[in-house]
Structure 1
């Protein structure tokens, strides 16, 4: 998956939403290093278990109906809940 580097307006937090292609997911847990890695390197590890804890510090846990099926041209977006900063 290729991405464009963008500046984050906020950190990823529990309760935020992520859209991957046509699928939406709720963020249920964020590892202690996930936001720093995402800001510095533009990547993080997404886990689709919906747990309220992460196993590794760079993970973001997501809960949704099904696993994403990304295709060329799809977008990955973070929708910050309530516009927190």
Structure 2
């Protein structure tokens, strides 16, 4: 198992649950613009080691989700801003460059301090 990305949730914006119906979570580093921070899981910005690929696994707290598609800008945005969208819809075509697509499973509740890891 090779860890490609490892960070933690530092703050959960007050409006994060607004996107759960659309099966989305938005990650952003601590420098998130104030008007967006309420909709984001604020994380430590860390470098992505290697390429994020289909069939890698995203761990969110105690749950794991298989990656089904990777937008072109995911690695760059995650490494520089900590900003990507997690979309839990099982899509195998990356429609948006800053979105990481995951298997179509229920999103479990996340807490401050939860780890977010991507590994192969």
Into which bin does the TM-score normalised by the smaller protein fall? Answer: 0.7 to 0.9
Tell which structure's C-alpha radius of gyration is larger.
2
Aligned mates of 1:11, 1:55 — CA distance in 2: 18
Per-residue CA distance 1:16-54 (angstroms, 9 max, x = gap): 100111110000000111111112111211100011012
Q: Which runs of 4+ in 1 moved over 3 A?
A: none
Give 1 or 2: higher strand fraction. 2
Q: Which stretch has the larger CA shift, 17-26 or 56-65?
A: 56-65
* Structure 2 gap segments, 5+ residues each: 1-40
Instruction: Give the superposition deviation at 1:6.
Output: 2.0
TM-score, with length taken from structure 1? 0.82
- Please provide the CA RMSD for this pair: 1.4
Aligned length: 80
Instruction: Give the superposition deviation at 1:8.
Output: 1.9
2:45 is equivalent to residue 8 of structure 1: no
* Structure 1 gap segments, 5+ residues each: none
2:90 is equivalent to residue 50 of structure 1: yes
Aligned mates of 2:45, 2:96 — CA distance in 1: 24
TM-score, with length taken from structure 2? 0.60
Aligned mates of 2:61, 2:85 — CA distance in 1: 17
2:61 is equivalent to residue 21 of structure 1: yes
